[in-house]
Amino acid sequence: MTRKYNLNMKLIALLLFLFILPSILLAQSYTISGYLSDKKNGETLIGAVTIVRNNANRGTASNEYGFYSLTLPQGSYELVYSFIGYKEQTINVSLTENKTINIGLEEVSTNIGEVVVSASKVNEKISQSKMGVEKVNVAAISKLPVLFGEKDILKTMQLLPGVKSGGDGQSGFTVRGGSIDQNLILLDDAPVYNASHLLGFFSTFNSDAIKDVTLYKGTAPAQFGGRISSVVDVKMNEGDNQNYGVSGGIGLISSKLNIEGPVQKGKSSFLISGRRTYADIFLKLTDQFKDNNLSFYDLNAKFNYRFSDKDRLFVSGYFGRDRLGLNNRFGIDWGNATATARWNHLFNSKLFSNTSFIYSNYDYNIEIQNNVNPFSILSRIRDWNLKQEFQYFPNTKNELKFGYNVIFHTITPGQITNAESTDDPFQTKNGLESALYATNDWQATKRIKINYGLRLSNFVVLGGSDYYVLDDDKNITDTISQNNPVKNYLNFEPRFSLSYTLNENSSLKAAYTRNTQNLHLITNSVTTNPTDKWIMNTNIIKPEIGDQVSIGYFHNFNNNMFEFSAETYYKLMQNQIDYKDNADERAPVIETQLLYGKGRAYGLELLLKKNQGKLTGWVGYTLSRTEKQIDGINQNQWYAARQDRTHDISVVTMYDISKRWNVSAVWVYQTGNAITFPSGKYEVAGQTTWLYTERNGYRMPAYHRLDLGATFKLKERKRFNSELSFGLYNAYGRENPYTITFEQSDTDPNKTVAVQTSLFRWIPSVSWNFKFK
């Protein structure tokens, strides 16, 4: 064990040496550093750009806490600070010593035609080395039509190429052929295990409390890890540190309220944001549904405090709960709770440190009411998480990040409680996931920018509960019960991406990334169910490994009014899990029902965006294929994964009619999911049953839908303004299939018919949003 640690330490030293090597110090240079924020409310700006005008336009972008650092040789410089939607600010500096410059940028009053769709810098997609990255701007999504009038950042994300929604009212999504559990969703660094409310009709992210969302389509740099398909990095607002403000909205089925303000003016602030549905209140008033219940609420809160220019503390939390009750006989409630405490510390103007303690909990509880033996089943996944990251800015050519992450996972698969006792028949399991990483953004030449990094990830299957040994027929032959660790998995994850700037308006990019995944969701569908089962690696279940290669071309034209990108990817996935034929999802030892194999996904993603003008929006198209090959399924041949979709089109348009009216429309089209349908029928044991020929050999009908929206700004008062939003979901009433089942015909019992259930057509909505200042 000690030898191993020594080896690890040597490795770290070697890594750090290799990474710092490119940053040979320049003679007589000084550092300018500071924070960039919104002048009006003090919200820090993520990704705001500082450019040194008289030094080859070299520059840097502020990090996720608004911090920037630039090291330049002694001299005089003209610094330009900018952020999209904000007025540029220019400062002349004579650099003879290290300097701290904090800048508050002023927001441009939103005139018509200055709508921000996404991206924090007009040509960011051209200049950054990373690819497969999408930023979703919260302000921009407010104009898009959405289900029940509740704007939803996760649903907007699903309109981007490479990201596919699960279907009507689903928050679950798949990225580049991955399954829904292969997305790491982080809310202020805390993993969110179920990002949906109301069985998927809403996502858990209250857009009023969200500042910034970044999606990495499997190409995330080495500071992220743990899922093989994507990272969705959600950052909460900090709250206004200048003035108190109350905002909110009243909608058809839910309302929300947001309060923020300074704790110490200019230094610290708080934010509390809550939502609640009230359909359950109306249900109580009806005779037919008074015993039924379907509701959710959630609460976001954040507090930050600046001790000094060098130390800042952030505490943030989320708590949300859903409840579904049927006839007072069956009840299920589920929800996430996360808490994050972060401490930013500046060791010096070049070395920024962030230490995070994170708690994350997801559980669901099923209650069965009967007069014989009422009982409840609790399932839970709980994480304690420590993250340490250092960001080092040696010069204008390099930006290093290195750090570690340790997570202690506890999963309780199903603890049964009745009147007499509490029993844990499926046994709570523990695992320790840790990672060590280093990554560098390196401006190699004027045209070439490279991000490279390495992540070492380790997973220890901890003892203390039972693990099993299975034979080839999946029969249990032995039980492993020990307190010592049962198994250890170590993986190396190299990450590399390169961009080559062809000219000011276009670039070529290439990337290779490896990601591993130690937690797996065993689900029976592409939809998100609260009862989906999360499991960790065991002695049998190995970490999933994803290797992705991607190439892209990025081009902006008409003075950055239009943005075009084409990306292709090929992904190979190892240790993929699927149920065996006729699996028993309730089996106590789930490994007896699982098969393992590999997967592959490849595709082409095209995106054309218009960022300026009265008409803005985008058109996205994805051509893709996702397959699996698992021994024991479909005669060991490659078969279409459930989430395989050949075509995926989304058209998003927003149009400003006048200062007060704007309208929007969204149209989506997707090839149906691959699905197993029967190919015939026969009678056995007195019943008609179906004859199957292969898994996922059929397709659901194609999914398409048009949504319309309009926003009307009501007259602005001195301290109060408000707007009305109208929406029409599924405007032409397409009956998109939710499920298809096969039944004996009512009219002719010898005949069999396919019955399609679809959820909703023409859902109108109206909501009123207001803001007090």
Q: Which residues of the shown chain bind other proteins in the complex (CB under 8 A)?
A: 250, 252-253, 279, 282, 329, 370-372, 425, 523-525, 578-585, 588, 676-687, 689-693, 695, 697-698, 701, 714-715, 735, 737-738, 740-742, 748, 750-764, 766, 768
Whole-angstrom Cα distance, residue 558 to residue 367?
60
Question: Minimum Å distance from CB 693 to other proteins?
Answer: 6
Residue 78 or 735 having the CB closest to other proteins: 735
**Smallest separation (angstroms) from other proteins to the CB of 746:** 9
- Output 562 or 638, the one with its CB closest to other proteins: 638
Q: How far is the CB of 47 from other proteins (least distance, A)?
A: 37
Residue 263 or 740 having the CB closest to other proteins: 740
C-beta closer to other proteins: residue 308 or 582: 582
Cα 502 to Cα 523: distance, rounded to the nearest angstrom: 45
Q: Which residues contact 134 (CB under 8 A, 6 or more apart)?
A: 118, 157, 160, 163, 214, 215, 217
Residue that is written with structure tokens 């947001």 in the block:
258
CA-closest candidate to residue 379, choices 541, 534, 184, 259: 534
Q: Which is nearer to other proteins, 2 or 425 (CB)?
A: 425
CB nearer to other proteins: pick between 195 and 700: 700
Segment 313-317 long-range contacts (CB within 8 Å, at least 24 positions apart): 313/341, 313/342, 313/343, 313/344, 314/188, 314/238, 314/340, 314/341, 314/342, 314/343, 314/344, 315/339, 315/340, 315/341, 315/342, 316/188, 316/236, 316/340, 316/342
Name the minimum Å distance from CB 627 to other proteins. Answer: 16
Residues 655, 355: Cα–Cα separation, whole Å: 43
Q: Minimum distance from CB of 223 to other proteins (Å)?
A: 35
Burial annotation 286-316 (CB, 10 A radius, 16+ → b, else e)? eeebeebbbbbbbbbbbbbebeeeeebebbb
The answer to whether 570 and 549 are in contact (CB under 8 A) is yes
State the nearest-atom distance from the C-beta of 676 to other proteins, in Å.
5
C-beta of 74 vs 757, nearer to other proteins: 757
Nearer to other proteins, 392 or 534 (CB): 534
Pick the closer one to other proteins by CB: 347 or 682: 682
CA atoms within 13 A on the CB side of 395: 18
What gap in Å lies between CA 188 and CA 340, rounded to an integer?
A: 7
Closest to other proteins by CB, 329 vs 647, is 329
Q: How many helices (H) and strands (E) does the chain have?
A: 5, 51
Token code pair at residue 9: 């330490």
Q: Please, what is the minimum distance in Å from the beta carbon of residue 143 to other proteins?
A: 20
Helix-strand-coil percent breakdown of the chain, rounded to 5?
10, 60, 35
Cα–Cα distance, 733 to 366 (Å, whole number): 35
Query: Which pair of tokens denotes residue 517?
Result: 């995944």
The distance of closest approach from Cβ of residue 714 to other proteins in the complex, given in angstroms and rounded to an integer, is 6
Return the closest-CA partner of residue 598 out of 623, 627, 621: 627
**C-beta atoms surrounding 126 within 10 Å:** 22
Nearer to other proteins, 310 or 713 (CB): 713
- Compute the least distance from the CB of residue 206 to other proteins, in Å: 20
Residue 579 CB, nearest approach to other proteins (Å)? 4
| Beta strand 594-610 pairing with 615-630 | antiparallel
Of 378, 330, 334, which is closest to residue 198 (Cα–Cα)?
334
Name residues whose C-beta falls within 8 Å of residue 528's C-beta, 6 or more positions apart in sequence: 166, 170, 171, 172, 180, 194, 195, 196, 199, 200
130 touches 497 (CB < 8 A): yes
CA within 13 Å, CB half, 121: 20
Strands (E), 39-125: 49-52, 58-61, 67-73, 75-82, 89-95, 99-100, 103-105
3-state SS, residue 716:
coil
Q: Which is nearer to other proteins, 159 or 763 (CB)?
A: 763
322 or 493: CB nearest other proteins: 322
> φ and ψ at 281, to 5 degrees?
-65, -40
- Considering beta carbons, is residue 58 or 734 the nearer one to other proteins? 734
- Any bridge partners for residue 89, and if so which? 81
Q: Shortest gap between Cβ of 738 and other proteins (angstroms)?
A: 7
Q: Judged by CB, which is closer to other proteins: 539, or 752? A: 752
Quote the least distance from Cβ 119 to other proteins, whole Å.
35
Report the candidate in 378, 370, 235, 238 with the shortest Cα–Cα distance to residue 303: 238
DSSP category for residue 107: B
Which tokens belong to 253? Answer: 């089925």
Distance CA 523, CA 353 (A): 39
CB of 267 to other proteins, least distance (A): 37
Residue whose pair of structure tokens reads 């090929």 in the numeric block: 570
Which residue is associated with the tokens 């298809």?
Answer: 740
State the nearest-atom distance from the C-beta of 740 to other proteins, in Å.
Answer: 7
Least separation, in Å, of the C-beta of 416 and other proteins?
Answer: 11
Q: In whole angstroms, how close is the CB of 273 to other proteins at the nearest point? A: 20
Of the candidates 152, 231, 220, the residue with the CA atom closest to the CA atom of residue 189 = 231
